[in-house]
Amino acid sequence: MKETIFLAGGGSAQDSQELDAAFIEEMRARDLSSIAYIPIADKEPKYEEDLRWFKSIFEQETNEIEMWIDLSEKSLEDLRAVGCIYIGGGNTYHLLKKIQDAQITKALLSFIRDGGLVYGGSAGAIILGQDIRTAPEVPKTTTVEHEGLGLFGNYSIACHYTIKSQAHFQDLSRHIKSPIIALPEKGGIRLSGRMFDVLGTESTFLITADSCTQLLPNTSFEIGK
């Protein structure tokens, strides 16, 4: 089965409504009845509040929601058992470090590349790209690692994108030597195989040091790895 990844731009539940619906449709098509929710990106956890929010979106669509907080206890077999995972937003660097410290990166990559279903929202989307310096909270220290999980070849992911930030991301693309897929809060994309579908009500943008290409909702594009 093809790897299928949903990336949301980091808006409200209303902003991501179309993307959420497409994710639920994919769950139904695969006959998946459970989902693992990973809300570990916040430095100051508010798990009960996060779970209430998550259930407000997905509880009527799935028989079982598991909230995973300690990923060190999880394995590839656990990922395969639930079949799909949702990685929530927050602090991108904190999220990536938690995943790395739990030593679950290899299992997560295997799960996705073997056809597992994953949804990344905001920070949860950014860590799946090549370089996480697209995040709004880049540390000032130069000793922090910036390498994401690299699921889209050389492309990095940016969220909360607005036209006003175009120049910033073009400069950043030049600096990190990576093209950027920039997602607005009311937009997102679905990757199936090597084809991306643009979802939501706002355009996605492909940004390089020298160009900014608008991709309208309900269109598709393909990038090499």
Q: pLDDT tens, position by position, for the chain (225 residues)?
A: 678 999 999 988 889 999 999 999 999 999 998 999 999 999 888 999 999 999 998 888 887 999 999 999 999 999 999 999 999 999 999 999 999 999 999 999 999 999 999 999 999 999 999 999 999 887 666 556 899 999 999 999 999 999 999 999 999 999 999 999 999 999 999 998 888 999 999 999 999 999 999 999 999 998 765
- pLDDT (0 to 100) of residue 136: 87
- pLDDT (0 to 100) of residue 142: 59
Residues 4 and 12: their CA atoms lie apart, in Å, by 22
Closest to 108 (Cα-Cα) out of 87, 134, 130, 126: 87
Closest to 222 (Cα-Cα) out of 203, 194, 198, 199: 194
Closest to 37 (Cα-Cα) out of 72, 60, 69, 63: 69
Q: Which pairs with CB-CB distance under 8 Å and at least 24 residues apart come from 72-78?
A: 72/101, 72/102, 72/103, 72/104, 74/102, 74/104, 74/107, 75/104, 75/107, 76/107, 76/110, 76/111, 78/36
Q: CA-based angle 20:25:31, to the nearest 5?
A: 125
* Residue whose entry in the numeric block shows the structure tokens 């299992």: 107
Domains and CATH numbers, the chain: 4-222 (3.40.50.880)
Backbone angles phi and psi of 123, in degrees to 5: -55, -35
Burial of 12 (0-12, 13-18, 19+ CB in 10 A): exposed
Return the half-sphere exposure (C-beta side, CA atoms, 13 A cut-off) of residue 86: 25
